Structure 1
Amino acid sequence: MTTKSPSIEWLSDPAVFRVNRLDAHSDHRYYRTVEAAKASAPMDMRQSLNGSWKFHYALNAQARPAAFYEESFACDGWSDIQVPGHIQLQGFGSPQYVNTMYPWDGLEDVRPPHIPEHNPVGSYVKTFDLPATMTDWPVYISFQGVESAFYVWLNGAFVGYSEDSFTPAEFDLSPYVRPGANKLAVEVYQRSTGSWLEDQDFWRFSGIFREVYLYTVPKLHVWDLSVRGELDDKYAQGTVKVGLRLGSGGQKSIGGTGPKSAARFELLDAEGRTVAAGLHDVIGSELDIALEAGPVQLWSAEQPYLYKLAISIIGEQGELIEAIVQQVGFRRFEMIDKVMCLNGKRIVFKGVNRHEFNCRTGRAIGEADMLRDIAIMKQNNINAVRTSHYPNQTLWYELCDEYGLYVIDEMNLESHGSWQKMGAVEPSWNVPGNLPEWEPIVMDRAISMLERDKNHPSIIIWSCGNEAYAGEVILNVSNYFRLADPSRLVHYEGVFHNRAYNDTSDMESRMYAKPADIEAYLNESPEKPYISCEYMHAMGNSVGGMHKYTELENKYPMYQGGFIWDFIDQSLMKKNRFGQEYLAYGGDFDDRPTDYSFCGNGIVYADREVTPKMQEVKFLYQDYKLFPNREGVKIVNESLFAGTEHLSLVYRLLLGGREIYRGRTDADVPAQSEAFVPLTLPEGNLAPGEYAIETCLVLKQGTPWASAGHEIAFGQEVFRIESSAEPTVPSGTLRVVEGDVNIGVNGDGWAVLFSKQAKSLVSLRYGGREMIAVPPAPLFWRATTDNDKGYSLGYEAGVWYAASLARNCTGIELRQEEHAATVVFAYEFRTCPGVKVEIAYTVYADGSVRVRTDYTGAAGLPELPILAVSFKTSADYEHTNWYAMGPEENYADRKHGARLGMFERRVKELPSRYLVPQESGNRTGVRRVTLSNPQGLGMTIDASLNPVECNISPYTAFELEHAAHAWELPDAHYTVVTVAGCQMGVGGDDSWGAPVHPEYRIPSNGNLSFAFTLKPHAK
């Protein structure tokens, strides 16, 4: 569409989404010289307009300065704003976080295609001097990302209009640009018809949030380039299919090329050697050729080998007009016998969903952010990423090509709030559905993505968007993808809700299906392979039970993995009223409506530090499985293409968590094979104790994403050498004093005091140092996690909260032996009738105290969140040293990635930094943990023979329960020690109703016991 009369009515007209916008094209780079092209130098025909712009903010269209684009309109007194950047993160308006509902829900009664009256407008002005290199040349402008609709003027003349926040919008400035100073004016609206299609689970921003630049082209320019590395049926011989679409500089559409020209092609391998070459005359405006490359190295995420295709456009006098270098990866992605295969091998996606996000700049992210994300993914065995739920910046795909990640490229479409309301499917006014008036705007988004991104080998699947229900419009999009690009498959999950449109997706894709549901599908002789486009909802303390999904990989060939939701927390840096920075979530900006902390689902914190959940993800996503024993280690290489030649096998023998032997060797295990590698361990009889054989594969040499020695995979075997000696009871004298109120047990340098009045142990003194600040008590409650809240643990099991706060002591008993004394406290609980707990403290002559807890359950009560004993000691005991499963937090259903060993942390480092304070920092398999003060003095908790779970924190479960942000927690006055016989798992199938799997829950009607010993510790 071409017009010179811009109208504000376009904002609510689905038929108007581009005016004077250039057609979408490939994102290839072009240069004036071959040398610059081969060196991937900055493009010399491009001029950035990033930086400071003049800016005016208005709450709606009526309040905007409508004539601001006119050359006579003075903007000198306006504010400044940075481009790229979001308006709401630079002091104008406020960010708003919502998930499925539209951000105006409950505020304005509108239905598509109408838009709300509250529609903030950002008026941008940039004055630029036309670069000398563009004088007498055509001049274009590229906006790489503007949310959500915008108008453009240059020197007072209307240039164009565009919607679609996440693909480039380009315009021809040639008729309006002039030498010297030029006034560029851009009017950005937050709401448009496009907003009905951009209801993603994210913060609602607006503005010019990706880069803006001017560019020019030579007199004969490759406007669009198609490059595809193809393979023969043996996946050995390569062919490069190349398509050029040429035109004269300054033309708005592609026409004839005019004078005779030619195109020279040269294919170079990674070492710069010429593999194939050819020279072809250009007849007309298009050229399609096939370049035979012979035997080639294949591209995969494991081995991302890239060739370079150098293209030179030659004029009729033999002069170089334009040089292009395009990366080429030879790979074939296809369906073979209902299984998705890469280069002939069944692929398993070990993936994540990823938003573009930075905690300070929102979706305006830079290269450093992307490189950090790539490194984290590669370091943690993540091999695939879904661009949820919009096309990313071009650089992201280039990095995925180079570093090796499989990409599902997802178009900018989500209309969640138009068909799903609080979980109920109700598509009465769903868009786009079967509405023909919405097809052009939706199809435009598909075309813009495919045409820009088509040359990236990392992209193996096109996605029709996310959570927009189903219908003819999306089905037509999928058919467009198949017709335009048969080399890739097509994905769409929404057909799960309406099987009439099942052909939209080439694979069965579901969100948050339980493992049993997946197995049911796979056992019914399905026609399509299965992937979980979203699974393991990683909100807060989550990712429990992930192994139940990854165990399906080797059980069902048609199960082909999934994508965790999601990669990074979407939380924004903010200051509280005391000037403290914290990571904020929905509602913290007074944004309403909001979905509060539902934006915190990442396995990476918003500041790009890895969460403890990644420990489990890394292990379960290993391509290399290691199974050690005392003779050696079985290595199962599940990689599709990579052997182990780039890895070293490092192995250690640990005794009591301490390394007593280390070795290193090579292992030759080709892809898709296994081998047993003998290990050289110390000869002779081993001393009694607990041993661990730890084996790991590490990088021999550094890579762009990790240094040499980085651990790729590990496996551990634990065994015990029993002692023939009988266990002994500490001997010596102790003195028992039974008073009217207290029972004292004293010895050499230590004293223990029990109170009949407080009904617990109240004092434990070692060397005059008091270890008990608040007495031990039974604990049945943990600070609810996000997943706990999602399935109403507080409502279902709140009786255990009350039982943890108050109890009735029904008996106190003192028993004395020759070298020990035992005090037993018996408790009952009004909120949990029939439940009985006894805590027996046995004091030995060396001052150690064995604490045994016996729980007698009762029928008719909800399951236990935790069975523990908790007490407080001074915050001076700020350092911990563990012999346990670690090093990161782990739980009954999230401990596959943990290993038995020694590690240490400060107490303040043990709670995890989840957006909402909740249960965190637990360790399973705790044999021993020591608390010490700066002088190295303190106390050891020992459970060597029957390990327990343990949580040491500055906060009680109840302080965590009642804090909405970390800054609401009290200063650290105590170190809180919680020793548990068992704690329920954390779950993670979803965060809105899925319970923890049954085997990781604690029935309340059984009998349970656990014990540990408190001992003095001196450095």
Structure 2
Amino acid sequence: MTFDITRIDDPTFIAENRMPAHSDHRWFAGPEEARSGVSSFEQSLSGVWKFHCARNRGQLIPGFEQPQTDVSGWDDIPVPSHLQLEGYDRPQYVNVGYAWDGREELEPGQAPALDNPIGSYVRTFALEHPLREGERLSVTFHGAESAIAVWLNGRYIGYSTDSFTPAEFDLTDALVEGENRIAVQVFTYSSGSWMEDQDFFRFSGIFRDVVLRRRAAVHAEDIRVTTVVSDDLASAEVVLRVALAGAGGEGVGGGGSVTARLEGAGDLSTRSDGALAVRMDAPRLWSPEDPHLHDLVIEVRDATGALCEVIPQRVGIRRFGIENGVLSLNGARVVFKGINRHEFGPDGRVASPQLAESDIRMLKAHGVNAVRTSHYPNDSAFYALADEYGLLVIDEANIETHGPWTRIRNFGEPLESAIPGDSEQWRPAALDRARSMLERDKNHPSVVIWSCGNESYGGTVLRDVADWFRSVDDRPVHYEGVHWDPRYPETTDITSRMYTPAAEVAEYLQENRDKPFLLCEYAHAMGNSFGGVGDYIELAYRDELFQGGFIWDFADQAVRMTDRYGREFFGYGGDSGEAPHDHDFSGNGIFFADHAPTPKAQEMKRLYQGFVVDVSASVFTITNRMLFTSSAAYETRVTIAREGRVVSTGVVPTDVAPGETGTFALPHPIPAAPGEYAVVVSLHLRAETAWAPAGHEVAWGEHVLQVGEPPARAAAPMPRLVEGTLSIGVHGPGFHALFSRIFNGLGSYQFGQTSTGGRELLSGVVTPNFWHAPTANERGWNGPFEEGQWLLASRYGRASRFHEPADVVVAVEERGVRIGYRYELPTSPATHCQLSYLIDGSGRVEVTQRMHVPEGMPQMPEFATMLAMPADYDRVRWYGRGPEECYIDRQEGARLGVHDRRVVDMLTPYIRPQEAGNRTGVRWAEVTDARGAGLRFEGDPTMEFSALSWTPDEIESARHPNELPPVHRTIVRPALMRRGVGGDDSWGARPLDRYLLPTGDLEFRFAFRGI
């Protein structure tokens, strides 16, 4: 048999000589070996391979697979890796549409002929443990994108598509004594690529481990473990089915035998149907709150009774399904506090168990209980970790055809163009991908839902995939595409939608009550986003049919790059010179590309917490949203702080059962001393867990109250007014302020005694500001196009000229001197803004900004005042919400306190710079140098506050953080309000109305003074 390369264009050519899919169990030679975790049946072929990259089929080296072909001069490449990240080809980020779109005109199924990099890999190996009689040897490629052909010692072995499930081949008949030479070709694009049009970087190569595995003479080819939990949860039956191969045996007996023992239950017995089973009373059930796994040990023996294999299998006993119309785990209704996770890190999609474990630990620590494997099966190690740490997983088949979906939805192409649609030529591939996923992952208790894929429209093929899932397994089936093609509603057991606003979900459920409802994607967290998400969470606890959703998505997809000046940055679409591409649309993460948390994680953790904590001046109430865990499992702490300083702490015993509410008295009264107090009640881990240390906070609530009247400000002396020709001076002991009649504003503020009269704390003229660097969401709804006049108003508003002195007001008032400016703004209709300063003799400057915004004007991004300080004033300390960035529609996760940062760190490093770094509820903020000198800003009574190292236009002009210019000033922007960041989606959804700046009369007051 030979390999026919032309068949990579055939959608029905999905595999040749590939072994049937089976469970991902491991086997060992004996009990001690099993306990060590190192199997003598396995031999890794990961490492360095010889490598040649051809641009297309015409540049392949004929006969490369033959043992006599000299490859010593070829390059070395690590396996696993991606060609594109090893210097061959280039990374390409595409969201909607195929990577070859607009370059080659292809019929569905055809692979590109001109630009289809093909990697030829060669390495040699000798078996660490020679085969014994009756044993066989296979090689497994756990991930090869998009198709792979394999030879051993010049003999063609087989071919496989489906990049994300194992391709396993029997090598036994081609083995030779001593050294063997394995050769592989991996095709970047094949017919299978038409079913892999996911929103991700397009990579290729062998990107997961390669493993040789010996099979004993009698071998457990497949195992299936199921658990049947009684209605009352009082008992469970664990059922084991084993498919034996070798020594003439198919199934238990016929040349081999199987025994098994379950920890805590004893030996399994053979049932009448041939399965092995054991009953367990009062079982400890698996859940995200208690992911307990029972150890099942399976032993395989040959006909003589000799031990052939020992298989350790961890078993989670749980019941999951649709019960009483809702998705339930162990009899309790589930709310999925989920997230979508691409298997993506600094090395692309190269699988790393260490990275996966780190990701899962962070997700658990942030309250996430569910993951959707968007949009393909992950490496097998992920599921074992999900079992261990406790995550509910929607396991998604590697089927996405977003390009044809878009042509149907957006360009009116006929339904017949859907892939797989109703086409018989795509049916085998779709069913094969479903089978490969289910058979590998079926024994993982974390997998609770099977998904038919993503964004592939609808049709009979996917309906049949769903039916096949149900024919072999009892887990519910999910598919969102039924929303777009409702001909076969039976394709999905769950109503699934994407990016539907919470209000629309509630409206839908008023009339449609036939299925549980999930948002398989929601809260599109692109750039500075994730606003208004609390509405979804509240709806999930208000309507039992809405059972939560999965945030898009876990981490930014971006590749580490170096610019021409040697500075590292994370690159997105277009940064590798590729086309087509989708720019920075890959930057949707709650976590950054390096998997550190963004400020959005602060909000997610608060919204996803398992307890609602309501606090008042004397009591607090805990509502338990956990499924099986009492609040008694956590330590409940109460902290009372006065204006950022802790004045008392205490611990209150609580025991609130799941679904219940309890009210408790505060352990200490609020002090009588006047001031603002924050009472925080928080729940903490009593002991270390696998995902967090003891003391880790899992939930909190806060109440802020004022005791007594705020202290009256001491009267200040009158300042000295000097009205010059071009400048107006206001002076007092230790300060000097100069207002310009030419540049129309406050241009100098000196404070403190120096040889030159005081430190200059301003670096430019103070101006009103209505604009910020557009966020990803604002760009998504064309905000800059609609609202650009506010940019002009911020840059080019004009006040007094020499022949218009009436536009500048100079007045002596009871508390000081008032200087006011009237700015005419280049808007349509024409508007104006007034900015006035009341300066007293202590150097305190009260700023009042007023404006009337007529109905019908474009939305204003912010209503703020902007001033610049010298760059040495590079530290900021504030009393307000924090510690992370927050906005009016994303501040639930921020709490009141005194926080501090370096100014250069206040701009959140989203992969594309944009408005960031704001803080809400700020009572005061200090921007100082290293000695503590600078300006103190005070709200009236609060304000929003931003202190950054760059102006909005400098931020907007940079495509990446490394392109921001050297720091020359500190830009301070106190604000009445900045518009909410929004977050329903990033291509048209605006912030909810209650988070928009109002029209009509606006007034903003704050003050500043030197310190």
Q: How high is the TM-score relative to the length of structure 2?
A: 0.97
Are the counterparts in 2 of residues 615 and 897 from structure 1 also a CA contact under 8 Å? Answer: yes
Alignment counterpart, residue 1012 of structure 1, candidates 1003, 1006, 1011: 1006
Residue 720 of structure 2: which of 707, 725, 735 is its match? 735
Paired residue for 1:590, among 577, 583, 589? 577
Q: Conserved in 1, the CA contact under 8 Å of 2:498 and 2:520?
A: yes
The reply to whether residue 694 of structure 1 matches residue 690 of structure 2 is: no
Shift of 1:830: 2.6
Q: Which residue of 2 aligns with 1:780?
A: 770
- CA drift of 1:819 comes to 4.6
Q: Is the 8 A contact 1:782 1:866 kept in 2?
A: yes
Q: Does 1:621 align with 2:608?
A: yes
- Deviations 1:87-146 (Å, cap 9, x if unpaired)? 110011111110110110100111212221121110000111122344553211111000
Question: Equivalences for 1:304-319 in 2 at 5 Å?
Answer: 304-319=291-306
1:776 positional shift:
0.9
Q: Tell me how far apart the structure 2 counterparts of residues 40 and 510 of structure 1 sit (CA, whole Å).
A: 45
973, 982, 998: which one aligns with 2:993 = 998
Contact residue 927 and residue 935 of structure 2 kept, 8 A: yes
1:110 to 106, 109, 116: 106
Alpha-carbon deviations, 1:245-298, whole Å to 9, x = none? 00117x9xx747776543222111xxxxx32213559x9xx9412211122011
CA RMSD of aligned residues (A): 1.6
- Indicate the residue corresponding to 1:601 in structure 2: 588
Q: How does 1:351-390 map to 2 (within 5 A)?
A: 351-359=338-346, 361-390=347-376
Amino acid at match of 2:360: I
Within the candidate set 868, 871, 874, 2:870 is matched to 874
| Equivalent residue, structure 2, for 1:271 | none
Q: Could you tell me whether the CA contact under 8 Å between 1:247 and 1:257 is conserved in 2?
A: no
Q: Is the counterpart of residue 907 in structure 1 residue 903 in structure 2?
A: yes
Return 703-712 or 258-267, whichever deviates more: 258-267
Q: Secondary structure at the match of 1:300?
A: coil
Tell me the CA shift for residue 166 of structure 1: 0.3
- Paired amino acid for 1:413: I
- Which amino acid in the other structure matches residue 911 of structure 1? L
Superposition deviation, residue 190 in structure 1: 0.7
Is contact 1:776-1:871 (8 Å) kept?
yes
Instruction: Give 1:312 shift.
Output: 1.4
Residue type at the aligned position of 2:970: T
Structure 2 partner of 1:670: 657
Which of these residues, 491, 507, 524, is aligned with residue 504 of structure 1? 491
1:591: how far off? 0.5
Q: Quick one: which amino acid aligns to residue 927 of structure 2?
A: L
Corresponding residue for 1:766?
A: 751
Stretch of structure 1 that moved more, 951-960 or 623-632: 623-632
Tell me the residue number matched to 1:655.
Answer: 642
1:754-833 equivalences in 2 (<5 Å) = 754-767=739-752, 768-810=758-800, 811-833=807-829
8 Å Cα contact 2:40-2:129 kept in structure 1: no
Alignment partners' CA distance in 1, 2:997 and 2:269: 73
Query: Following the alignment from structure 2 to structure 1, what is the Cα–Cα distance between the partners of residues 4 and 622?
Result: 66
Q: Residue 345 of structure 1 aligns with which residue?
A: 332
Q: Do the aligned residues in 1 keep the contact of 2:153 with 2:180 (CA within 8 Å)? A: yes
Match of 2:916 among 915, 920, 926: 920
Contact 1:236 1:295 in 2 (8 A): yes
CA shift, 1:740, in A, is: 1.0
Q: Report if the CA contact (8 A) 2:17-2:169 is conserved.
A: yes
C-alpha distance in 2 between matches for 1:423 and 1:323: 55
The answer to whether structure 1 residue 569 and structure 2 residue 563 are counterparts is: no
Judge conservation of contact 2:152–2:183 (CA < 8 Å) in 1: yes
Q: What residue ranges of structure 2 are gaps of 5+ in the alignment?
A: 753-757, 801-806
Q: Is the Cα contact below 8 Å between 2:244 and 2:256 reproduced in 1?
A: no
Q: Which residue of 1 aligns with 2:755?
A: none
Q: Does 1:744 align with 2:729?
A: yes
Secondary structure of 1:498's counterpart equals coil
Aligned to 1:753: 738
CA distance in structure 2 between the aligned counterparts of 1:865 and 1:830, rounded to whole angstroms: 16
Give the alignment partner of residue 52 of structure 1, picking from 48, 51, 55: 48
Contact 1:130 1:178 in 2 (8 A): no
Q: 2:270, 2:829 → 1: CA distance?
A: 88
Over 3 Å counting, the alpha-carbon distance change for 1:259 and 1:112 in structure 2 is closer
Question: Offset at 1:241?
Answer: 1.1
**Identity over aligned residues, as a percent?**
41
SS in 2 for 1:800: helix
Change (3 A) 1:328 1:77: same
Secondary structure at the aligned position of 1:625 is classed as strand
Superposition pairs of residues 48-127 of structure 1, within 5 angstroms: 48-117=44-113, 118-127=115-124
Offset of residue 658 of structure 1: 1.8
Q: Contact 2:558/2:586 (CA < 8 Å) preserved in 1?
A: yes
Equivalent-residue separation in structure 2 for 1:589 and 1:883 (angstroms): 43
Counterpart code for 1:669: V
The match for 2:37 among 41, 48, 60 is 41
Match 1:531 to one of 496, 518, 521: 518
| Residue matched to 1:710 | 696
* 1:413 and 2:399 aligned: yes
Aligned to 2:265: 275
Distance in structure 2 (CA, Å) of the matches to 1:712 and 1:432: 44
- Inter-CA distance 40–493: structure 2 relative to 1 (3 Å threshold): farther
The whole-number CA distance in structure 2 between the counterparts of 1:339 and 1:256 is 37
Task: Trace 1:825-974 onto structure 2 (pairs within 5 A).
Answer: 825-943=821-939, 945-974=940-969
Whether the aligned pair in 2 keeps the contact of 1:141 and 1:170 (CA below 8 Å) is yes
User: For each residue in 1:901-940, what CA deviation from the matched residue of structure 2 results, as whole angstroms up to 9, or x when unmatched?
Assistant: 1110000111111111100000111101101101111111
**Deviations 1:287-342 (CA, angstroms, capped at 9, x unpaired):** 41221112201111111111111111233443322111111111111212221111
Deviation at 1:188, TM superposition (A): 0.8
Distance 1:845 1:217 in 2: 89
CA 1:14/1:818 → structure 2, altered by over 3 Å: closer, same or farther?
A: closer
Secondary structure in 2 aligned to 1:440?
helix
Whole-Å separation in 1 of the counterparts to 2:683 and 2:547: 25
TM-score normalized with structure 1 length = 0.96
Aligned to 2:200: 202
State the distance in 1 between where 2:1004 and 2:645 align.
26
SS of the aligned residue for 2:591 comes to: coil
**Cα drift, residue 963 of structure 1:** 1.4
Secondary structure of 2:540's counterpart equals coil
Question: Aligned partners of 1:425 and 1:408: how far apart in 2?
Answer: 31
Deviations 1:147-184 (A, max 9, x none): 01111000011111100000001111000112211110
The answer as to 2:622 corresponding to 1:635 is: yes
Matches within 5 A, 1:338-487: 338-359=325-346, 361-421=347-407, 423-424=410-411, 426=413, 427-486=415-474
Q: Which amino acid aligns with 1:771?
A: L
Q: Match of 2:984?
A: 989
- State whether residues 276 and 292 of structure 1, in contact with CA within 8 Å, keep that contact through their aligned partners in structure 2: no
Greater Cα shift, 734-743 or 128-137: 128-137
Q: State whether structure 2 residue 719 is matched by structure 1 residue 722.
A: no
Name the CA shift for 1:170/1:260 in 2 (closer, same or farther; >3 Å). closer
Match of 2:2 among 1, 5, 25: 5
Question: Contact conserved, 1:803 with 1:832, CA < 8 A, in 2?
Answer: no
Asked if 1:29 corresponds to 2:16, the answer is no
| Deviation of the 1:729 alpha carbon | 4.9
Aligned residues: 996
Q: Conserved in 2, the CA contact under 8 Å of 1:220 and 1:257? A: no
Please say if residues 466 and 494 of structure 1, whose CA atoms lie closer than 8 Å, have aligned partners that are also in contact: yes
Return the letter of the residue paired with 2:240. Answer: V
Query: What is the identity, as a one-letter code, of the residue corresponding to 1:440?
Result: P
Assess if the C-alpha contact under 8 Å between 1:409 and 1:462 holds in 2. yes
User: Shift in Å at residue 34 of structure 1?
Assistant: 2.1
Task: State the secondary structure of the residue aligned to 1:398.
Answer: helix
Cα distance in 1, alignment partners of residues 130 and 543 from structure 2: 60
